Structure 1
């Protein structure tokens, strides 16, 4: 399964590499895992913007794309299929004022918390082992000493 993080950050944030590194590590960890036939890719949007921009960056509702779909966005074109995507929002001040290690812990905690709020979409996706996916996420974060 392909799992990645997509960051939308205020330009004041100097620790964007934290999310990129975490995303790369997650991608490696999950690349050979399979939780069922309904989801091949999970994309989690990470929003962390200063108060002045907060109103422009809302959390997106969870979305599942079953059939192949071509996406054109910001000059890029790509194809998705069996893709589950949603976003979470981090506290800007807390993230900005934390060390890189603390930032990773903030992201890990918020991702795990977000899984509990996905009940409505879970009912639509029949062949996916949500429990094992959550356990593997927890194990990944434990191995990295983030929880």
Structure 2
């Protein structure tokens, strides 16, 4: 399972959201060798945290599931994706801006756990994904890190 966070943040909170890259790398490493079924191998969660002046440009997109292999060309990169789910999670700008690094990590962990309902709503497309064990493993990971 590949679990990755994509970051969309305002320039005025770059310092406050620096932790997202490391957070994503840790998640990716931890879940890299885990399997939860054959229909979902990649999850990309877009983390949106922008000031109110930019909200109109960064609206959460509808979840997108790609079952069959698809070749993608984007921003100078080319890659193949399959069994891939992408969805966005919007964080409260003011909470992140005022939070310490640890508080922001805890907030993000809680919001990621809440966002897993998206997978449940896609059950008709994502047929054999063990959401219960995935969620349990994610909760345990966050507990080990002291985030929940």
Q: Scaled by the length of structure 1, what TM-score is found?
A: 0.95
Give ranges in structure 1 of 5+ residues lacking alignment: none
Structure 2 CA distance, aligned partners of 1:110 and 1:12? 22
Size of the aligned set, in residue pairs, is 147
Partner of 1:78: 79
Partner of 1:10: 10
How far the C-alpha of 1:117 sits from its partner, in A, is 4.2
Structure 2 CA distance, aligned partners of 1:78 and 1:71? 5
* Residues 28-67 of structure 1: pairs in structure 2 closer than 5 A: 28-67=29-68
Moved over 6 A (4+): none
Aligned Cα root-mean-square deviation (Å): 1.1
How far the C-alpha of 1:85 sits from its partner, in A, is 1.1
Structure 1 CA distance, aligned partners of 2:11 and 2:82? 31
Partner of 2:114: 113
Structure 2 CA distance, aligned partners of 1:37 and 1:118? 14
Higher mean alpha-carbon deviation, 135-144 vs 12-21, is at 12-21
How far the C-alpha of 1:16 sits from its partner, in A, is 2.9
Give ranges in structure 2 of 5+ residues lacking alignment: none
Higher mean alpha-carbon deviation, 25-34 vs 9-18, is at 9-18
1:134 aligns with 2:122: no
